[in-house]
Amino acid sequence: MSNGEPKLKSKAASIRAYSTLVYVVVIFFSILAVIPFWFMFMNATWDSFSIQSGIKLWPQIPGGIKQLITNWSNLQARASFSFPVGFLNSFIISTSATALTVYFSAMTAYGLSVYNFKGQKALFAVIVGVMMVPTAVNITGFYREMSAMHLLGTKWPLILPAIAAPSTVFFIKQYLDTSLSKEIIEASRIDGAGEFFTFNRICLPIMVPALATQGIFSFLGSWNNFFAPSILLSKNEDKTIPLMVAQLYGDRFVDYGMIYVGLSASVFPIIVVYVFLQRYIISGVSAGGVKE
C-alpha cells in the first residue's frame, strides 16, 4: 500500500470502500471479457439435449470428456468440412504470411532506417499514409487480379500480399531508429561484410524483440482474417478456420453440442498461444499506442 500515512481513520475507510468498489468493477469487467469462452468450453462437454434445456455454466461431471469427444466426432462425421483440414489451411496461410511480413517488413524498415537515398522520406511518408487506407476497399480489383493470375482457390492471394505490410514496417522502423546503433553496421562493413550479410546475420538478430511482437500480431491477424478468405476461397477443402466456424450455424446444425465443440476448437489454440505470449502481446499493444 502506498498511502502509508493515513491521516484520518474515516478517510482511510472511505478509500478502502472506494477501492473495494473499484475492485468489484474491475473484476467484473475482467470476468466479462472471458466468460463467453468459459461458456463455450463448458457447453462443449454436454450433449445437445441438455444444452437445449439451458446453457450450461459448468462442465458435465462425470462423462464430460467422453461427451466432448462424442461431440467432436459428430462434428467430424456430419459437417461438410473438416476442422483438421481447416487448421492446416489456417496454419499454412498464417505462418507463411507471417514469415513474409516479418522478413520483408524488417528488410524495408532497415532500408528506410539505415540508408539515405533519394525519396526515402517521401516513401516513409507514403507508408504512413497508406496505413490509413482501408485494406478492404480494393477487393473487387484484387479479386479480378487474382482471377486473371489464375490464383483463385489457391492460398497465394492470402499469403503473397503479406510482403507489403505498411504498419509493420512503420513499427519496426520506429524500433530500429531507437535501438539499432549505426556503429555495428559500420563495424561490419569495415570487416568486409556485404550489406545483405550485415542485415541477415547481424542486424536481424538485434531486431528479434520487435519482430516477435509484430510477428504475433501478423499471425493473429492472418489467422482471424475473415473478409478476404470468405471471398477468395469457395471450396470446403480450402477454407480456413474462421470460414468453417461461420458455417457452423447452418440449418444442418441443430446439434448444439457440435456447435459448441466447433466454437471451442476454433478458440482453444488461440487461447493456448495467448497464455504463453500474452506478455509480449500486451507490451506490443502498449507500444503501438505510445509510439504514434
Partner 1 sequence: MANTNRTHKGMSYSRFGYIFVAPFVIAYCIFSLYPLLTTFWYSTANMQATTSAFWGFSNKEVYYDRYLDLNEIYDDLSKVDIDSSGYNKIKNFFAAQDYADRYHPLDEDGMTAITSIGTSAGFSSTTISEVQAAVDNQDVGQISTESYDELKGWRSGFSDISLTLTDRLSTYSGQLDAIVNAETAEEGEETESVTPETIMANASYTDFVASLADLQLDANQQILVDYLLTKTSYTSLQEYFDAITDGEASMADPAFYYVISNLNSPSVTTEDGEAVTAIAVPFISDVETYLKAEIWKDTISNSSSYTELPAYIDGSKALTDNMDQLYADIKDLNDAGIINAEVLVIKGGEVVVSDDTSGANFLAVYDKYYVSADTPYQSNPDEIAAAMQISNLGSYYELAARTKLVSMGVALDKYITYEGDFDVDKYNEFKAEVGMADVLTMDKYKEIDEQRMAERVEKAEEKVAEAEAKLPEVQAAYDAAVAADEAAGIENPQSVVGTDSYKAYGDLRSVELQIQKNESIISDPKGVLEEVNAKKMYISVGLDNYKEIFTNKTRFSYVTGAFVTTAVVWIIGFVPQILLALLLSAWFTDTKLSLKGLSAMKALMYLPNVITAATIAIFFRRLFSYSSGGALSASQLVLRAFGDEDGYNFFASPWATRLIVCFINFWMWYGNTMIVLIAGITSINESIYESAQLDGASSFQTYTKITLPLLRPIILYTLVTSLIGGLQMFDIPQNLNMNPALVDFNGVMIPSIRTVLMYVNAAAFGKQDVKLVGIASAVSVLLFIVTTILSIIIFYIMRDKDAAKAKKLMKKGGTK
Which cell is 3 given?
Answer: 498511502
C-beta of 65: minimal distance to partner 1 in Å?
Answer: 22
Residue 119 falls in which region: left (phi positive, over 0), alpha (psi -120 to 50) or beta: left
Q: Which of 8, 9, 10, 54 binds partner 1 (CB under 8 A)?
A: 54
Q: Does 15 bind partner 1 (CB under 8 A)?
A: yes
Each residue 215-244 as x (binds partner 1 by CB under 8 A) or -, in order, gives -----x--xx-xx--xx--x------xxx-
Contact flag: residue 53 with partner 1 (CB under 8 A): yes
Question: Which of 78, 144 has the CB closer to partner 1?
Answer: 144
- Angle at alpha carbon of residue 112, lines to 126 and 95, rounded to 5°: 85
Q: Pattern of binders to partner 1 over 90-129, x per CB under 8 A?
A: --------------xx-xx-xxx-xxxxx-x--x------
Q: Is 195 in the site for partner 1 (CB under 8 A)?
A: yes
Helix H segments across the chain? Answer: 9-43, 48-52, 64-78, 83-114, 120-130, 139-148, 156-159, 166-179, 182-190, 195-197, 204-224, 227-232, 241-247, 256-291
Contacts of residue 258, defined as CB under 8 A and 6 or more positions apart, other chains included, come to: 48, 71, 74, 75, 78, 79, 248
- Position 14 contacts partner 1 (CB under 8 A): no
Span of 58-66, 69-77, 206-214, 275-283 interacting with partner 1 by CB under 8 A? 275-283
- Interface with partner 1 in residues 137-176 (CB under 8 A): 137-148, 152, 160-161, 163-164, 166, 169
Q: Is 3 a binder of partner 1 (CB under 8 A)?
A: yes
Which grid cell sits at 8? 484520518
Q: Closest approach of Cβ 231 to partner 1, in Å?
A: 5
Work out the end-to-end distance of the chain between its first and last CA atoms, rounded to an integer number of angstroms: 33
| Residue 265 neighbours by CB distance under 10 Å | 21
Q: Is 256 in the site for partner 1 (CB under 8 A)?
A: yes
Residue 73 engages partner 1 in binding (rule: CB under 8 A): no
- Residue whose CB is less far from partner 1, 62 or 289: 289
**Phi, psi at 170, each rounded to 5°:** -60, -50
